[in-house]
Structure 1
Amino acid sequence: MHSAADETDPIPASTLPRRQLGRFLRERRDATGFTIAAAAKLADLSSSALQRVEAGQTQKVRKQDVRALCELYEVDPDDMRAAMDLAVLAREQSWYHAYGGLYSNAYNMYVGLEAVARQQTAYHEHVPGLLQTADYARAVISAYPGFTSGDDIDRRVEHRMKRQAIVTRKTNPVMLEVLLHESALRRVVGGSQVMRAQLRHLAEISKLANVVLRVHPYEAGVIWGMPHGRFTILSFDVNRAGGSVEPPIVFMEGGPAQDVYLEKPDEVQLYSELASAIRSTSLDEEQTRELIRRVTREFDRDNR
């Protein structure tokens, strides 16, 4: 049997593509009921090689090996191409990763990471997907000019709602901290009725023990003297020794352009310090809920 990688290859700094590829292949193998030994044999790999691929511990993953595994797991052609693209990216040693922009297939990269993150700290200037109502999500998604099919919009809204289970589930919900700029409360998305329902939802969901929602008010000015845009810091489980199973990542949604992922420790630390600076000038949780209620009443008055 051949090996999917040379075991003597040093593990490079960048780990994101191979981690995502390994997670994808592991989930597909589990879904089809193959053991590692059985899948490895049928794909002409050693069990140890497949284990390393699934753990994201190997850099030089061969495209033909990924294809063989995807065919074995009956992966659809689009996902197979995406998996083979990840195999190519896994060879790159750049700390910086840019993938397709708004609502592209590459967005699945973030959704996969989001699903396994233990903690998220995010700064947003609109209501983030994990806290959106269905009507707010529909207004956001349907505003994109590339979406004209009602069925496609419905599917995307449904998917966004399903993603929110990581926040509300009873077992191991994600620890979510959202630092939300005040403009998100006042920017009208979908009309006054949609906004009133969205704001009430924010006030309620912020009461969950695993959710921290704090508004960064206009009065706080500009942090560090510059606009910085939205970002999310994703942290993952720790092992018995207290170390992170996977290194943390900073995600910056690119809108219509490319999304960006940063892994380099000093860059992650920089964004952690930025989040701390925003947090230090934000309203506390009770003040945040009071402001949300006040803005909700303003929408109520405007609708009379």
Structure 2
Amino acid sequence: MPEDSSTTLPRRQLGRYLREAREGINMNLEDVAPLLQLSVSTLSRIERGLTGVRVPDVEALCRIYGIDDSETVAGLVGLARQSAGKSWWQAFDDVMSRNFDLYVGFESSAKKLTIYRPDMLSGLFQTPDYARALDRIYLPDVSDEARDRRIQLKKKRQALITRKTKPALVDLVVHESVLHTTVGGSKVMREQLNRLANMPANVTVSVLPFSAGFPVGASTGPFTILEFGEDTRGREVSPTVVYVESYAGDLYLERPKDVNRYRQAYDAIRQSSLDVASSKRLVRRIAAREYQA
């Protein structure tokens, strides 16, 4: 998977710029949408980077907002054309929900992921056998072909952290209970834990031990903080997103106060975790002792 193959990031960059330009001249969505013969909800989705926008509409918005610098207009048109492309994961629409499609778009564009998993390993770290064992329980009625497609999707996602050119940075904390929770049997767990202990240098793995209790004072559930890097002026290329995963549905949080709250929670969890070297030793010890052949 080539770096930055996602259409999500250019959509979000374009939407952010268009929103700021609209707000800069004190127009609201209800003022602008009729001028383009768009619904307010469609224009809102464009500004949030949830859908692409036609080049003529971008050019019309530039005229409405008084953007007359030719280089700026050309840059916005370029973003519109990039966002109209097809992302690699769209080939997996048959085995992926619409909500998770959004997450994969964010993930594939991320430069850094900060992940806490108190329950199980996320797809970025799962071996095929670990993933298949989970799917047999979670999706008992799907075909073997569909399960294989889901494994292929995970492998494509994992290229984000295993590629040789500019892999994403990942800071992962897993709860110790994840290491003791058997998925697929001893052989599967031994392979999975050994992979976890041998992640590439761009991935740090820490274990939150049972003895740490609840560092935040409550159970946060699993979450991922996704960051997209900075431009040459030190400004975020795209706002940081917190992905909060649950059985009932997923949340995507972007408000600074929400992002900061999860950063603070992660910092507390990380400080209560074992250091990286001790974590690796623990993972290997559990793999050898609890999941013997």
The TM-score bracket by the shorter chain reads: 0.7 to 0.9
Question: Could you say which residue in structure 2 is the equivalent of 1:9?
Answer: 22
Are residue 21 (structure 1) and residue 50 (structure 2) matched?
Answer: yes
**What amino acid maps onto 2:215 in structure 1?**
I
**CA-CA distance at 1:16 after TM superposition:** 8.2
Q: In 2, Cα distance between the equivalents of 1:107 and 1:74?
A: 16
Q: 1:134 to 1:16 in 2, by over 3 A?
A: farther
Q: In 2, Cα distance between the equivalents of 1:160 and 1:127?
A: 12
**CA-CA distance at 1:300 after TM superposition:** 3.7
The 3-state SS of whatever aligns with 2:221 is coil
**What amino acid maps onto 1:187 in structure 2?**
T
Are residue 111 (structure 1) and residue 110 (structure 2) matched?
Answer: no
Q: In 1, Cα distance between the equivalents of 2:257 and 2:175?
A: 25
Q: Which of 129, 133, 138 lines up with 1:139 in the alignment? A: 133
Q: In 1, Cα distance between the equivalents of 2:21 and 2:261?
A: 33
**CA-CA distance at 1:191 after TM superposition:** 1.0
Question: Could you say which residue in structure 2 is the equivalent of 1:250?
Answer: 242
Q: 1:191 to 1:48 in 2, by over 3 A?
A: farther
For 1:282-301, list aligned pairs within 5 A.
282-301=273-292
Q: In 1, Cα distance between the equivalents of 2:284 and 2:19?
A: 59
Q: In 2, Cα distance between the equivalents of 1:197 and 1:6?
A: 48
Q: 1:187 to 1:103 in 2, by over 3 A?
A: farther
Question: TM-score normalised to the size of structure 1?
Answer: 0.70
For 1:192-271, list aligned pairs within 5 A.
192-205=186-199, 208-255=200-247, 257-271=248-262
The 3-state SS of whatever aligns with 1:178 is strand
Q: Which of 104, 120, 132 lines up with 2:113 in the alignment? A: 120
Q: 1:187 to 1:46 in 2, by over 3 A?
A: closer
Deviations 1:127-161 (A, max 9, x none): 11111111111112222136421111110111011
**CA-CA distance at 1:216 after TM superposition:** 0.4
**CA-CA distance at 1:55 after TM superposition:** 4.9
* Between 272-281 and 146-155, the greater mean CA deviation after superposition: 146-155
Question: Could you say which residue in structure 2 is the equivalent of 1:153?
Answer: 147
Q: Is the 8 A contact 2:241 2:254 kept in 1?
A: yes
The 3-state SS of whatever aligns with 2:279 is helix
Q: Which of 160, 178, 195 lines up with 1:184 in the alignment? A: 178
**CA-CA distance at 1:54 after TM superposition:** 7.5
**What is the aligned-residue RMSD (CA, Å)?**
3.2
For 1:31-46, list aligned pairs within 5 A.
40=55, 45=57
Q: Work out the percentage of aligned pairs sharing the same amino acid.
A: 36
Q: In 1, Cα distance between the equivalents of 2:154 and 2:141?
A: 15
Q: In 1, Cα distance between the equivalents of 2:109 and 2:260?
A: 21
**CA-CA distance at 1:115 after TM superposition:** 0.3
Q: Which runs of 4+ in 1 moved over 6 A?
A: 4-8
**CA-CA distance at 1:241 after TM superposition:** 1.2
Aligned residues: 239
